[in-house]
Structure 1
Amino acid sequence: MIDANLSAAGSVLSPLNLENRSLLWKIAAVVFGTMFLALMSRIEVPMYPVPMTMQTYGVMLVGALYGWRMGGITIIAWLMEGAAGLPVLAGGAGSLAHFAGPTAGYLFAFPICGMLVGWLVQRGWNGRNVILAFIAMLIGTVLCLTLGAFWLSLSIGVEKAMAVGVTPFLVGGVLKSALGAATLRAIPHKSERKSD
């Protein structure tokens, strides 16, 4: 459970404590984070019309480790790289066209989901309680699938969108959420007090 004293004291848990780092540290973290997300995008199982990749694992982990603000900035920076044509999206793809195609809903969902997971982790849903960490990752994954399927349904219909854009990814989503929680469990956590 979330420590009641933690909430009362107004402190947040931040595994990497990026909010209190120098600007240079933050820039380096964003660069490293976008490279990590690009690498996770290369690990995929081909499926139609949306490939299953380790992207959701990467997005949730960046949100969890970086915190909601820095995580969101990093995920958006990665998406901007993809929109600019850099080969950082699924399968090494990259172009503005991906932000209007069948995967656009998932892409636009990534920053929202990563920030949500980061926000939950900073409030105690982290590796100190692996069950809450798993639930945080799972919530982010379900939200990503929901938003992605909604966009997909606009072009192929709700039933087909659920069949090809959600159902095949449910088991993988659970496994990646468990892996994310285990990763958080393995990383030491620092407590920081929010400044007034």
Structure 2
Amino acid sequence: MRARDVAFAGLFAALTAVGAQISIPVGPVPVTLQVFLVLLSGLVLGARLGFLSQLVYVLMGAVGIPVFANFQGGFAVLYGPTGGYIAAFPIAAFLTGYITEKSGRKTGMVLGSLAGVGAIYLLGWLRLGLFLAGDFHKAFLLGVLPFIPVDVIKAALAVLIADRVRKAMDLG
């Protein structure tokens, strides 16, 4: 792995940490810029480096660095109601990057971003449902449904920005 790759992965881990602090509380799951930056990491860095950047982010938070929303950190956050969403970030970045790489430019970017959001919702919904004593219907109503319009906008913005960022970073 080249130094440039490590630097870009670290940059996106740091950007995700900053995006987590831009938070609007709406029940047990806040609206943050994390999803936008997770998708952007997969779109810009590709599957492998996008995954790595988000894995670094999750590990930083797991060991107690306050990088999660509201300057939280520690394993307890991953075990809490939002833990599934956070744990899904590396998978989402990988899926977004992989589908983009395999499917072509714009179509792949859109499909990859939607797959990434889907992975975040799936793991987040499952963990929130378990946290709510198995009430998966309530978890869907609290942790997925209200976020769909916002996350579709985030995905669209990530797709629009990713091509320009890749060109500016000379990634093609």
TM over 0.5, shorter chain:
yes
| Residue 32 of structure 2: aligned partner | 53
Distance 1:93 1:155 in 2: 18
Q: Which has the higher contact order (CA 8 A, sep 6+)?
A: 1
Query: TM-score, with normalisation over the residues of structure 2?
Result: 0.89
Bigger radius of gyration among the two? 1
Task: State the Cα distance separating 1:125 from its structure 2 match.
Answer: 4.1
Distance 1:92 1:63 in 2: 24
RMSD: 1.7
Structure 1: state its 5+ residue gaps.
1-21, 192-196
Q: Return the match for 1:146 from 99, 122, 133.
A: 122
Contact map agreement 2:61 2:74 (CA 8 A) in 1: yes
Deviations 1:141-165, CA, capped at 9 Å, x for gaps: 1221122101111122111101100
| Residue 155 of structure 1: aligned partner | 131
Matched, 1:183 2:158: no
Deviations 1:49-93, CA, capped at 9 Å, x for gaps: 111111011011111111111111111111111111112111221
| Residue 42 of structure 2: aligned partner | 63
Structure 2: state its 5+ residue gaps.
none
Q: What does residue range 28-177 of structure 1 map to in structure 2 within 5 Å?
A: 28-126=7-105, 129=106, 131-156=107-132, 157-177=135-155
Distance 1:91 1:132 in 2: 33
Deviations 1:136-186, CA, capped at 9 Å, x for gaps: 212211221122101111122111101100011011111001101111233
Distance 1:73 1:96 in 2: 19
Q: Which has the higher strand share?
A: 1
Distance 2:23 2:147 in 1: 12
